[in-house]
Structure 1
Amino acid sequence: MCAETPDYKDTLNLPKTGFPMRAGLPRREPDWLARWERIGIYDRLREKAAQAGGARPSFVLHDGPPYANGHLHIGHALNKTIKDMIVRSHQMMGHDSRYVPGWDCHGLPIEWKIEEQYRSKGQNKDEVDVITFRQECRKFAGEWVDIQREEFKRLGITGNWDDPYLTMNFHAERVIAEEFQKFLMNGTLYQGSKPVMWSPVEQTALAEAEVEYHDKESFTIWVKFAVLDPVAGTGEALENRDLVGAHVVIWTTTPWTIPSNRGVVYGADFDYGLYEVTGTPEESWAKVGDRFILADKRADDVMTRARLESGMWKRLRDVSAEDLSGLTLQHPLAGVEGGEGEWDAPRDFRPAPFVTDEDGTGFVHCAPSHGMDEFELYRDAGMLDEVITYNVDPDGRFRADLPLFGGTAILKPNGKEGNANKAVIDKLVEVGGLLARGRIKHSYPHSWRSKAPVIYRNTPQWFAAIDRAVGDGQDDLGTTIRSRALAAIDEQVKWTPVSGRNRLYAMIETRPDWVLSRQRAWGVPLTCFTRKGALPTDGDFLLRNAEVNARILEAFETEGADAWYAEGARERFLAGIVNPDDYDQVFDILDVWFDSGSTHAFVLRDRADGTADGIADVYMEGTDQHRGWFHSSLLQSCGTNGRAPYRNVVTHGFTLDEKGNKMSKSLGNTILPEQVIKQYGADILRLWVAQTDYTADQRLGAEILKGVADSYRRLRNTMRFMLGALDDFTEADRVDPADMPELERWVLHRLAELDHKVRTGYRAFDFQGVFSAVFNFATVELSAFYFDIRKDALYCDGDSPRRRAARTVMDLLFHRLTAWLAPILVFTTEEVWLERFPGDDSSIHLQDMPPVQGDWLDEPLAAKWAAIRRVRRVVTAALEVQRRDKVIGASLEAAPVVHVRDAEVLEALKSVPFDDICITSDVLLTRDPMPAEAFRLPEIEGVGVVFEKARGEKCQRCWKILPDVGRHAHPGICGRCNEALG
């Protein structure tokens, strides 16, 4: 700049905004939370809907209740953030979108914590008054509800936090009992004795949803069952006499079940053989002359396990299924000293469909009290009374009077291996009943609460029969719970992702009856009575009386479920209706999955902010809830209402570390929400959720968070540019789209396209798709293209139509980008909104997504500008080469010659200010043949660029190099700038 040339900086329309580039989210987010609470955002949205008089359709996401026990983990944050995005996006798309957060408050984890407190004081829980104990559990749950509520709110989650639902509220306990009574009255409730997954540590039955699978090292044994001579002493001939004295060999990983053995089963279609030992090493338990019946596919493996080398056995002959069908077996402990005849009776021997010859021996030992397959086999054969045992007590010990093994423990109270397996193995070795033994590491069921292994144990429990006709007249989907549930999955529910449908369908299709009872204290009791002296199969075993039920419900409504445990409760509920002395009161509590499965009734049906039909628009939880809440809610609702309680089921995966490993404290790879919030802010955590494909397992770690923070900074920069450009914008500056330059109309076209994509994505719960589209638009099409081009007009033009059009488009962009991003970046979009529209009652979260005008869509214009942008790519790439080679420092120093082969494209380029679009001082467009030195991009044919430097002087105001600089009233500037200065 010459000394006499003025400094024109103050004449430019430079952006003005107080919006900081550094967000400071950890420090500032709590202030916005306090502000939202002060102005009552959630309640104001409800008022807005009420004032609309039904014009805003209802939309309700029903909250799957987290457990009120412990601080939040990253899975909680993911889950609640996805829910919040669903709720907020539907609200901003014109719904009355309500969200009532809830908590699961009953159950073993809380009970376990209170028991630990008692134990630490030297007290025994069983000596404490049950109501006192339950009140301790209630207090504990309430304290954690308050803690978790604040942690959820810190994530920016909107909802009715002042009035959440709790499964321990009196009305909730009343409704849970009422829903149970529907099963009592409709004929699906029954008491049965069958094997259930049992936790010896927690001394209660568990549902499949309460079980997780971990690797466990178990004993494995190969046990010999001798073939008996069924006609010994009768003088009759036995066709397969050569099989008498041979041994059928079974294999099991649960030696403790051998004392409960009642039979052995085989595969009717397998190939079996009779094998004889011809030689043995000293370390083998097999003896020369021993004969074993084995599945041919398993023989080599079994002999190897018995430490026999190749050549030490031979196959004598085939053993057919017909041969096997005539045999009976002897328990290996038959006649053992001290056995008191416990195992002397012959064992049953029959075919079964669940036998496999892929592992083991081709035979399976049956202890029907400890295996569901065996139980069902003998149930169907009408033999349960003959084969069911009650050898294992609730604490996992053998009953004290069981010969040889009484009092030995399958598991210790701490969940570690007890002495029962060893005692059984040692006795089998002693009597010669063992062929081989070893150890195996395999996947084994564990309680998800105590983390201890579980066992199958036959015990009286209460069940809901899922294949029994319900008898309530609601048969549109079927007459049984199972048929209704399967039909509802396909006819009433949309699944996101669709794999969720297959997962739940398969589970419902094959599941057994629902075990409703738990032998604990903290929960809703099974509010029923049984007739003294009656059997569960008797018609009058269960008291089914509507008047009794009503009394119970009335008491629960005012006193909660503690009323069931109060002194004189039986007389209170029965007196005057039936003779209380004729009935026993059931004190088992309901499975907590029944509690949470019933929430649709006391939240959706009973609350003013529920739904008119008691059905939620969305249930959204992790994929584990296909066997948990989704599952129990479907069964419960199909049993009481004949239909599904939800229209959409959305599922997210689990969060892993950056290497794809499961997060665990032992590995030290856990990331807590509070850590992320403290370092980056909740919006960064929310942005991570939006950027990830939540339908699969996600990864999170330090490097991933850095990448998320970088994306946030780029987006924040876009918002800051708009705010700066819109300083002092008023309605008087607004330009009608018809009067705008093509570039602005192209932006409006893209807005219209994007509006459709955003709304479609939000409706489909596709937050990754929504954010990806908005982010790419904001950072690529706006920041790197439109904003870059229009900086010159915004800064250097006077009050020109072009500048006013650009600012009008900026205003339209502002309203849509903030609204589109508000469900995701709740804090940042509020900051952006308040920067432009301050005020005590102002908030982006009180706005709807603004509509787009139908005439914004212009496909011919879009096609034209797609061609223009393709040519521009070649120009900018050519200039980048010159910049890299330091021929120029900025693109305004260039005036390239652009060769375009296509006449139509050339005309399109000539119809727009292509030099402005390329951010050059000039450009020459030509159809002349491209010289050899012309720059080309291989993916864009028919375009070549020859670099030329711009001619003229540099304008000291806009920095373009033009021939007319210095020829105007104001020194050192171009004609456009001279006109702007007046």
Structure 2
Amino acid sequence: MCADTPEYKDTLNLPQTAFPMRAGLPKREPEWLARWEKIGIYDRLRDKAEGRKPFTLHDGPPYANGHLHIGHALNKILKDMVVRSQQMMGRDARYIPGWDCHGLPIEWKIEEQYRKKGKNKDEVDIVDFRQECRKFADGWIDIQRDEFKRLGITGKWEKPYLTMDFRAERIIAEEFQKFLMNGTLYQGSKPVMWSPIEKTALAEAEVEYHDKESFTIWVKFPVTTEGDLQGANVVIWTTTPWTIPSNKAVVFGDSFAYGLYEVTDTPEECWAKPGDRFLLADKLAGDVMAKARLEDSMWKRVRDVSAEELSGLSLAHPLAGAEGSNGEWDDPRDFRAADFVTDEEGTGFVHCAPSHGMEEFELYRDLGMLEQVITYNVMDDGGFRADLPFFGGKYILDRKGKEGNANKAIIDKLVEVGGLLARGKIKHSYPHSWRSKAPVIYRNTPQWFAAIDREVGDGQDQYGKTIRERALTSIDQLVTWTPKTGRNRLYSMIEARPDWVLSRQRAWGVPLTCFVKKGAMPTDPDYLLRDEAVNARILAAFEEEGADAWYKPGAKERFLGNDHDPDQWEKVDDILDVWFDSGSTHAFVLRDREDGSDDGIADLYLEGTDQHRGWFHSSMLQACGTIGHAPYRGVLTHGFTLDEKGNKMSKSLGNTVAPEDVTKQYGADILRLWVGQADYTADLRIGPEILKGVADSYRRLRNTMRFMLGALAHFEESDRVDPAEMPELERWVLHRLAELDHVVRKGYDAYDFQGVFQQLFNFATVELSAFYFDIRKDALYCDGDTVRRRAARTVLDILFHRLTTWLAPVLVFTMEEVWLERFPGEESSVHLTDIPETPADWLDEPLAAKWAMVRRARRAVTAALEVQRTEKVIGASLEAAPVVHVRDGEMLAALKSVNFEDICITSDIVLTGDPSPDEAYRLPEVEGVTVVFERAAGEKCQRCWKILPDVGSHAHPGTCKRCNDALG
């Protein structure tokens, strides 16, 4: 479609653009970042959006302790696409990035540094230690901020929110004080997940599950009740031998069938002896005997044992009366039915150490027997108390988090006293601290809790009277879930969860700003000091000095003032769970800042699916305890990132993909396009081959934009044509734009970026590049000042404004480059532009139906010509003038009305309703349309390359009439 005759080549309207085919994104993207910073684009958007309906996406704070990984990139890019799309659809879309700065990971890093220097953390002034933690977090915030900005993330970067800012620490303390004052805070002693390595309680959100090999033992509890069963043994099974010294009871299921079993013979190396009798659940007896190395012929079932008979028995601990035990285990063990016993595995009996198991704890709590069954055998470092017979000083885990010496010592002692029936090892899923990666234990310790089933008493009862009621009601009545499965996940978690453990036994965080009365019991009404004046003094100090004020000398006297005797009160030095910190962010971001949410509620929280038990969860509980409902109206969750084969990424496997590496090789827009193309509701795969595919999609899209830029060179308003005057092909494009405008807006509102991008990509590459552009190149390049050419350029201008703004939330750098190519200037930016409104009257369904027929017929013609090209009969479609047989009269009339030869890019075409000859080409998917190939008659126009009979008969040599007229 370009001339090789020198005198005519320069007369063509060839595309003119400096927009390069090769993007060079890694080099050029930082230039646009610098430009946006220079013009202050985020603040200019806020000025522009004044008076609009606000949209607030509240940023879940990443942790300030390392370089970004690909999951961070996925998360922040999704957030950015939400914010940008909402802004360009007419909202005031605000985004305040934030960081989680307190907590154990940072504290652990500082402790590691101390250990390398031979320093002991406990010997360092706590305020100095906290300052080290603050400095560490501050350094990583600066690094991560630059890494996020490099991905094209827009936001209030110069004024983020930090949980360690003095005002944030003050508000976190204030939010805690609301729990103190509204009666939901209490101190209790119950089993919590405990990290012996980190010496602190952990929340469910702070643990991850990994396979662990554990000892497993079958232990004998002798029956001491006089009668037929005296001397028999109730057998229990456990995978935590270290809990046996803390055993206080055994429980059974009152609906299971139990029996008395007797050993009749034994092999060598067996702990059972002939005559031994065991009480076992019938369903599990055979398996237990096999574990004890007893073949079926070596034991027999003696008789049934009813639940009523079991309930009358008394048991002894296997270590009772052991020499050197000092009577530690001589008391009878409680023996009763419990509803948490199963007969799926084990023995049908469960050993109870209520200090180390929540079900056992709750059983004896409800029975009012906790004082009789709670033990304090395990210290905060996972070691047994020094005076515990046989096991004092033994550790469940060593200092590196590996198997300690406690389990072996207990098993050996049980063997020695004849208390063991069998032992083995089992691999099972077990909770580990996500920080130290070491196993955790359940340990009964005094902790501070928020009661989620206690009436809050603050009068904010629209969604319920308790935290749990408010949360469950909010989930169903206030929040929209994307995807909808998120609702069920959080609902079931909150429905079944226990009270919230708020306290941690660490140093770096916001303290539990409360005082307890010396000598009082936690159940006493005056145990906690509730004084608004004391609270106010604490908050004022935190605002000025940060939470360090709590730990400075004289803090207790300072805060109690003259109102209370310091000798009667103790200051609580535990720190708050960091999930309380991040759960409180709605208070100091959405509610406290001028650029927060107008009503203190976020339109959207957006994080990975793990945050149903993390930030979504803690934010819900915290807000329901302080403002009476959820702090968000919408929750969007995305999946995790995997390698190309679907494996979890791991540095040890070498299959990680660092965002920095992608931006250096391809540019951030390729990473953003990977997010935009993907179904983020599932896990996302990424790797070299996937990125190559993304880059190819990008290249095709870039070529579409480049074509428009070239064809729009020197376009003026005076060139514009009213839609009513346009040819049908242009009006069909406008119809498609009207359809797509609805799709884009609806998709962006639903956060369906994949759906939006797929529609736009197919439109740009199939309907535009391969159809509309392909057809209109001839008119754009060769026509003179015709209505057809001006209409095509008008449509290209309309396309330009829509495609650049529709795609700008995803391809932030490339659409800026495209925009500036047409509209340069210091103040110009596509991101300061809204998606244009599209007139409803562009929709024309009858026209669309007609052009659907035209396109179907065109497919048959182009397929037929491709056969001729492949067989080298022709070199280009302009050498053809096919005869097209059309069976359907309506389609035939449609084709005759649209210059079908231009649509098929042939020099001529014959349309007929005559029956198809046998030799005609048929495309199976286009019934009723057949094609007979014929060569075009005439000479080749030296300007447009069409072969026409009139070439050579005009004033300009070697031209057709159209080109002759264009040349004037």
Which TM-score applies when normalising by structure 2?
0.99
Output the CA distance in 2 between the equivalents of 1:741 and 1:319.
93
Q: 8 Å contact 2:5–2:943 — kept in the other structure?
A: no
The CA deviation string for residues 319-376 of structure 1, in whole angstroms up to 9 with x for no partner, is 2211211111111111111111111111111111111111111111000000001000
Aligned to 2:912: 926
Aligned to 1:238: none
Output the CA distance in 2 between the equivalents of 1:893 and 1:445.
73
- 1:454 and 2:450 are equivalent in the alignment: no
SS of alignment partner, residue 296 of structure 2: coil
Alignment of 1:783-794 (within 5 A): 783-794=769-780
Aligned to 1:27: 27
Residue 7 of structure 1 deviates from its aligned partner by 3.9
Output the CA distance in 2 between the equivalents of 1:39 and 1:179.
38
Residue identity in the other structure for 1:95: R
1:63 aligned residue (54, 59, 63): 59
Output the CA distance in 2 between the equivalents of 1:284 and 1:444.
30
Alignment of 1:818-897 (within 5 A): 818-897=804-883
SS of alignment partner, residue 513 of structure 2: coil
SS of alignment partner, residue 941 of structure 1: coil
Instruction: Decide whether aligned partners of structure 1 residues 768 and 4 sit closer, same or farther in structure 2, where only a CA change above 3 A counts.
Output: closer
- 1:971 and 2:944 are equivalent in the alignment: no
Residue 5 of structure 1 deviates from its aligned partner by 6.8
The CA deviation string for residues 154-204 of structure 1, in whole angstroms up to 9 with x for no partner, is 000000000000000010000000000000000000000000000000000
Output the CA distance in 2 between the equivalents of 1:337 and 1:935.
101
Output the CA distance in 2 between the equivalents of 1:350 and 1:188.
33
Q: 8 Å contact 2:186–2:522 — kept in the other structure?
A: yes
- 1:350 and 2:336 are equivalent in the alignment: yes
Residue 745 of structure 1 deviates from its aligned partner by 0.3
Aligned to 1:809: 795
- 1:96 and 2:82 are equivalent in the alignment: no
Aligned to 1:762: 748
Residue identity in the other structure for 2:422: A
Q: 8 Å contact 2:4–2:942 — kept in the other structure?
A: no
Q: 8 Å contact 1:658–1:699 — kept in the other structure?
A: yes
Aligned to 2:147: 151
- 1:631 and 2:617 are equivalent in the alignment: yes
Residue identity in the other structure for 1:220: T
Instruction: Give the gaps of 5 or more residues in structure 2.
Output: none
Aligned to 1:668: 654
- 1:574 and 2:560 are equivalent in the alignment: yes
1:643 aligned residue (629, 635, 659): 629
Residue identity in the other structure for 1:200: P
2:678 aligned residue (684, 688, 692): 692
2:178 aligned residue (179, 182, 200): 182
Residue 6 of structure 1 deviates from its aligned partner by 5.9
Aligned to 1:11: 11
Output the CA distance in 2 between the equivalents of 1:799 and 1:366.
92
Residue identity in the other structure for 2:73: A
Residue identity in the other structure for 1:702: P
Residue identity in the other structure for 1:64: G
The CA deviation string for residues 764-793 of structure 1, in whole angstroms up to 9 with x for no partner, is 111101111111100010000000000000
Residue identity in the other structure for 2:469: S
Q: 8 Å contact 2:590–2:602 — kept in the other structure?
A: yes
Residue identity in the other structure for 2:25: L
Q: 8 Å contact 1:493–1:646 — kept in the other structure?
A: yes
Output the CA distance in 2 between the equivalents of 1:858 and 1:463.
63
Residue identity in the other structure for 1:625: Q
SS of alignment partner, residue 242 of structure 1: coil
Instruction: Decide whether aligned partners of structure 1 residues 955 and 245 sit closer, same or farther in structure 2, where only a CA change above 3 A counts.
Output: same
Aligned to 1:522: 508
Residue identity in the other structure for 2:393: G
| Aligned residues between the structures | 967
2:730 aligned residue (734, 739, 744): 744
Aligned to 1:324: 310
Quote the sequence identity (%).
80
Output the CA distance in 2 between the equivalents of 1:559 and 1:208.
32
Residue 242 of structure 1 deviates from its aligned partner by 2.6
Output the CA distance in 1 between the equivalents of 2:285 and 2:683.
42
Output the CA distance in 2 between the equivalents of 1:872 and 1:854.
28
Q: 8 Å contact 2:482–2:637 — kept in the other structure?
A: yes
Output the CA distance in 1 between the equivalents of 2:865 and 2:401.
71
The CA deviation string for residues 273-306 of structure 1, in whole angstroms up to 9 with x for no partner, is 1111122110221111111111111111111111
Q: 8 Å contact 1:5–1:972 — kept in the other structure?
A: no
Output the CA distance in 2 between the equivalents of 1:279 and 1:970.
116
SS of alignment partner, residue 603 of structure 2: strand
Output the CA distance in 1 between the equivalents of 2:498 and 2:728.
66
Residue identity in the other structure for 2:342: T
- 1:197 and 2:168 are equivalent in the alignment: no
2:786 aligned residue (800, 821, 825): 800
Aligned to 1:399: 385
Aligned to 2:216: 220
Output the CA distance in 2 between the equivalents of 1:690 and 1:90.
15
Instruction: Decide whether aligned partners of structure 1 residues 5 and 83 sit closer, same or farther in structure 2, where only a CA change above 3 A counts.
Output: closer
Residue identity in the other structure for 2:676: A
Q: 8 Å contact 2:534–2:561 — kept in the other structure?
A: no
Residue 10 of structure 1 deviates from its aligned partner by 0.9
Residue identity in the other structure for 1:28: R
Aligned to 1:505: 491
Alignment of 1:352-391 (within 5 A): 352-391=338-377
1:122 aligned residue (99, 118, 123): 118
- 1:949 and 2:945 are equivalent in the alignment: no
Residue identity in the other structure for 1:385: E
Output the CA distance in 1 between the equivalents of 2:416 and 2:861.
90
Q: 8 Å contact 2:213–2:428 — kept in the other structure?
A: yes
Residue identity in the other structure for 2:267: P
> Which stretch shows the higher mean deviation, 366-375 or 944-953?
944-953
Q: 8 Å contact 1:190–1:464 — kept in the other structure?
A: yes
SS of alignment partner, residue 222 of structure 2: strand
Residue identity in the other structure for 1:543: L
Residue identity in the other structure for 2:45: L
Q: 8 Å contact 2:54–2:598 — kept in the other structure?
A: no
Aligned to 1:211: 207
2:246 aligned residue (251, 255, 260): 260
Aligned to 1:39: 39
Residue identity in the other structure for 1:430: E
Output the CA distance in 2 between the equivalents of 1:380 and 1:492.
35
Q: 8 Å contact 1:200–1:454 — kept in the other structure?
A: yes
Output the CA distance in 2 between the equivalents of 1:768 and 1:267.
52
Residue 692 of structure 1 deviates from its aligned partner by 0.6
The CA deviation string for residues 639-685 of structure 1, in whole angstroms up to 9 with x for no partner, is 00001100000001100000100001111101100010110000000
Residue 214 of structure 1 deviates from its aligned partner by 0.4
The CA deviation string for residues 476-528 of structure 1, in whole angstroms up to 9 with x for no partner, is 11100000000000000000011110100000000000000000010000000
Residue 935 of structure 1 deviates from its aligned partner by 1.6
Output the CA distance in 1 between the equivalents of 2:331 and 2:119.
46
SS of alignment partner, residue 297 of structure 2: coil
Output the CA distance in 2 between the equivalents of 1:970 and 1:297.
102
> Which stretch shows the higher mean deviation, 241-250 or 170-179?
241-250
SS of alignment partner, residue 693 of structure 1: coil
SS of alignment partner, residue 144 of structure 2: helix
Q: 8 Å contact 2:219–2:419 — kept in the other structure?
A: yes
Aligned to 1:75: 71
The CA deviation string for residues 235-275 of structure 1, in whole angstroms up to 9 with x for no partner, is xxxxxx33221111111110000000001111111111111
2:884 aligned residue (884, 898, 907): 898
Residue identity in the other structure for 1:17: T
Instruction: Decide whether aligned partners of structure 1 residues 546 and 895 sit closer, same or farther in structure 2, where only a CA change above 3 A counts.
Output: same
SS of alignment partner, residue 215 of structure 2: strand
Residue 451 of structure 1 deviates from its aligned partner by 0.5
Residue 815 of structure 1 deviates from its aligned partner by 0.5
Output the CA distance in 1 between the equivalents of 2:259 and 2:964.
106
The CA deviation string for residues 544-603 of structure 1, in whole angstroms up to 9 with x for no partner, is 111111111111111110111111111111122222221100000000000000000000
Q: 8 Å contact 1:466–1:480 — kept in the other structure?
A: yes
SS of alignment partner, residue 776 of structure 1: helix
